[in-house]
Amino acid sequence: MRAVTWQGRHKISVETVPDPEIVNPRDAIIRVTSTAICGSDLHLYDGYIPGMRAGDIVGHEFMGEVVETGAASTLQRGQRVVVPFTISCGQCFFCEKQQYSACDNSNPSETRDASELMMGHAMGGAFGYAHLTGGYAGGQAEYVRIPYSDVGPVVIPDDLADDDVLFLSDILPTGWQAAVNADIEPGDTVAVWGCGPVGLFTIQSALLLGAGRVIAIDHFPTRLALAKKYGAEILDYTKVDVREALAEMTGGIGPDACIDCVGMESHGFTVDNILDQVKVKLLSSTERIHALRQAILACRKGGRLSIPGVYGGFADKFPLGQLMEKGLTVKSGQTHVQRYSGDLLEMIQAGKFDTVSLISHHASLEDAADMYRHWHDEQNLYTKIVLKPGLAKGAVSARQEMEHA
Amino acid sequence: MSRSKNDLPDPLILAAAGAGIAVLATGAALLQRRRHRESRGQEETIATDAPHWTLDKASSRALFGKSVLINRPRAELYAAWMPERFPEFMENVVAVDDLGDDVSQWTIRAPAGREVTLVNRITERVEDTSIYWQSTPVSDIANSGEVRFIDAPAGRGTYVSLILAYDPPAGKVGRFAAKLLQREPEVQARRDLHRFKQLMETGEVTTNASPSARGAESPTEPHI
């Protein structure tokens, strides 16, 4: 089969590799019909995630058709399913608590040692995301083996298109969990840093969960326009002092909840971020936490800080005293996708989410290398890329309004 | 060394007494532990409830111990820990043959494509609680140990502890070589314990077997 592989920093290639096979009774094999490139794939692309090996198949947002099932799988051939990016057994202590991304069985014994050494405890497994999370082949491929296929995959009714439901795999539940973790109370003001796909779903989720207003922060005009379309007030951080604007918009007290949808590769030309960039280049730090610092300083006293943004290790100049003195509550973590899948599918069917208008491009799986480059270099134009193994090479379609832009 | 009320007798003492065999290496381990206890008794000012295998620096321990939480009832796990089932979850155990009288012979993959044979006798069973074993003199590697099952609180299942003493093949060099090849008994024991957990909780041993663009790998074999 054909698959998108990581070959090194800024090196992505589409290769012919062996087809996956059923290995365990609970496995299923799916034929991928749609797979998206995630913002966190850029952390792999930029070489910031340890534990990648040349030749790894990437991709963790995907859906497709069941083509083969193991003896204990509950799926049936021909079913259309969306697959959560987190691999979860459903039966360990963590899965029973619905903390699916903390699954204690999905990271195999061969790979969990390194993960435990680095994090204190082994992380749960995930598709296409380095060997610290299990070393599983990813979904930017024609076929994928799905372990524990009786627990994760969400069966999709025929009347829903791929684009309607693909993001149930990661970014929709990630945005939803980000808002849930902000413990939003009716009428709250919620500030969201980053209007990438996760930020855009966080904005929609915060409003659905009762926020009075959402203030979104970014600098790419297209992404800010989408944020506005989904109901947020917007701040371009290149035009205003974000903390001053947030304070003045909230009578001086600051937002009730602040959500960092940026993560480890924060942009911006402030002194702290430039120092972070230098440290990362010198390999003395992995994180650029400018957005997170700003969120902590901006948040109201006794407020909530939710961190869906991905971080990989140790950070410098973390405002710990500010966090403590202001009495903030912090919630974070990889998404417990399986916990939210059913409810979110119903909400999509009820038309509560716009899951489609953030997609800027559809392209062939064969064009993945070009698409990674665009995704990395042209974040204003490329707001979400969906790869289709069925499309012919070079058959790229861009969204209507982008063509007018 | 202090002991809490529910602490079980030292596994090595029990194992040695039960078998009536003093294998040289584990005998030495036992002696070392006694010596530790004696010296500790004089210096001791603060009591500890830490498990005995966590005392001392890791590099100077004669024992290896590792615990996992398994979300299954204690009796079920105790019943499943039988030599006949070891090849299901012990990666390097190729075969286990029952020699009768609670003695079993294990064929184990060793570094450099060789095989070693362990001949172990189960010296004591405490129903639903613990199993002790001790190697016999014909065993290639002298070893002894205990697997212990304790109810976890709040219906979380069972804490399973594997406590192991062994004489590394060809001393420290052999141990280092085995570690490089990831066949070192402590690494192996830890991984096998996780495989036991996977098997008991999910019904299968987790594997990342999947394709890659690395020619040497098979899509049906696990990889690092």
What domains are there in chain A, each with its CATH number? 2-170+336-402 (3.90.180.10), 171-332 (3.40.50.720)
Q: What is the pLDDT of residue B114?
A: 82
Distance between CA atoms of B33 and B216, rounded to whole angstroms?
46
- B208/chain A closest Cα distance in angstroms: 5
Which residues of B fall within a CB distance of 8 Å from A12? none
Q: Which residue of B has its CA nearest to A136?
A: B208
Distance between CA atoms of A264 and B154, rounded to whole angstroms?
38
Name beta bridge partners: B151.
Answer: B158
Average of per-residue pLDDT across A33-42: 96
**DSSP H or E run through B123:** strand B115-126
Across A247-360, where does the E strand assignment appear? 257-260, 304-307, 329-332
| Beta-carbon separation of B211 and A20 below 8 A | yes
Does B113 contact A at CB distance below 8 Å?
no
- Token duo for residue A52: 């990648």
Mutate to test the interface with B, among A23, A30, A104, A109 (most CBs of B within 10 A): A109
Q: What's CA A71's distance to the chain center, in Å?
A: 32
Q: In what order do the strands lie in the sheet with A189-193?
A: A233-236, A213-218, A189-193, A257-260, A304-307, A329-332
| Beta-carbon separation of A112 and B157 below 8 A | no
Q: What is the pLDDT of residue A283?
A: 64
Query: Which residues numbered 192-211 in B keep a CB inside 8 Å of some CB on A?
Result: 192, 194-195, 197-198, 201-211
Phi, psi of A251 (to 5 degrees): 60, 25
Query: What ipTM describes this predicted complex?
Result: 0.93
The pLDDT tens digits for A199-254 are 999 999 999 999 999 999 999 999 999 999 999 999 999 999 999 999 999 999 99
- Token duo for residue B12: 């090595």
Q: Name the region of A55 (left: φ>0; alpha: ψ -120 to 50; beta: rest).
A: left
Q: What is the pLDDT of residue B203?
A: 98
Mutate to test the interface with B, among A88, A105, A140 (most CBs of B within 10 A): A105
Average pLDDT, whole number, for chain A? 94
Distance between CA atoms of A79 and A388, rounded to whole angstroms?
18
DSSP assignment of A1-41, as one string? -EEEEEEETTEEEEEE-PPP---STT-EEEEEEEEEE-HHH
Which residues of B fall within a CB distance of 8 Å from A104? 69, 197
Does B88 contact A at CB distance below 8 Å?
no
Exposure pattern of A170-202 as b/e (b: 16+ CB <10 Å)? bbbbbbbbbbbbbebeeebbbbbbbbbbbbbbb
Banded pLDDT at A271 (limits 50, 70, 90)? confident
Distance between CA atoms of A381 and A223, rounded to whole angstroms?
9
Distance between CA atoms of A348 and A295, rounded to whole angstroms?
30
| Beta-carbon separation of B222 and A3 below 8 A | no
Long-range contacts of A116-124 (CB under 8 A, 24+ apart): A118/A50, A118/A313, A123/A334, A124/A86, A124/A87, A124/A88, A124/A94, A124/A100, A124/A334
Q: What is the pLDDT of residue B178?
A: 63
Question: Which residue in this structure is represented by tokens 């083509």?
Answer: A67
| Beta-carbon separation of A25 and B209 below 8 A | no
Relative to beta strand A143-146, strand A28-37 is: antiparallel
Q: Which residue of A has its CA nearest to B183?
A: A110
CA distances to A223, A233, A374, B5, B195 from A382, rounded to whole Å, are 9, 22, 7, 65, 43
Distance between CA atoms of A347 and A336, rounded to whole angstroms?
17
The pLDDT tens digits for B2-33 are 444 444 444 433 333 333 333 444 444 544 55
**Of B204, B213, B224, Cβ closest to residue A55:** B213
Q: Outline where A36-108 has alpha helix (H).
A: 39-45, 93-96
Mutate to test the interface with A, among B202, B217, B223, B224 (most CBs of A within 10 A): B202
Q: What is the pLDDT of residue B47?
A: 77
Q: Of A281 and B109, which is predicted with more confidence?
A: B109
| Beta-carbon separation of A108 and B207 below 8 A | yes
Which residues of B fall within a CB distance of 8 Å from A102? none
Distance between CA atoms of A288 and A270, rounded to whole angstroms?
12
| Beta-carbon separation of B71 and A93 below 8 A | yes
**Within chain B, which residues score under 70 in pLDDT?**
1-45, 168-183
| Beta-carbon separation of B211 and A17 below 8 A | yes
- B176/chain A closest Cα distance in angstroms: 18
Banded pLDDT at A377 (limits 50, 70, 90)? very high
**Of A92, A113, A125, Cβ closest to residue B201:** A92
Amino acid at the residue A202: T
Amino acid at the residue B124: E
Q: Of A380 and A279, which is predicted with more confidence?
A: A380
Distance between CA atoms of A167 and B208, rounded to whole angstroms?
24
| Beta-carbon separation of A105 and B197 below 8 A | yes
Cβ contact A203:A214 at 8 Å: yes
**Of B190, B203, B206, Cβ closest to residue A106:** B206
Distance between CA atoms of B222 and A134, rounded to whole angstroms?
10
- For residue A62, the 8-state DSSP code is E
Does B220 contact A at CB distance below 8 Å?
yes
SS3 B17: helix
Amino acid at the residue A51: G
Q: What is the pLDDT of residue A278?
A: 73
Distance between CA atoms of A42 and A212, rounded to whole angstroms?
33
The pLDDT tens digits for A132-145 are 999 999 999 999 99
Does B156 contact A at CB distance below 8 Å?
yes
The pLDDT tens digits for A329-346 are 999 999 999 999 999 999
**Of A17, A91, A111, Cβ closest to residue B71:** A91
- Token duo for residue B98: 């029952």
| Beta-carbon separation of A106 and B207 below 8 A | no
pTM score, whole prediction: 0.89
Banded pLDDT at A73 (limits 50, 70, 90)? very high
| Beta-carbon separation of B203 and A145 below 8 A | no
- B205/chain A closest Cα distance in angstroms: 8
Cβ contact A275:A293 at 8 Å: no
**Of B156, B191, B202, Cβ closest to residue A148:** B202
Amino acid at the residue A262: V
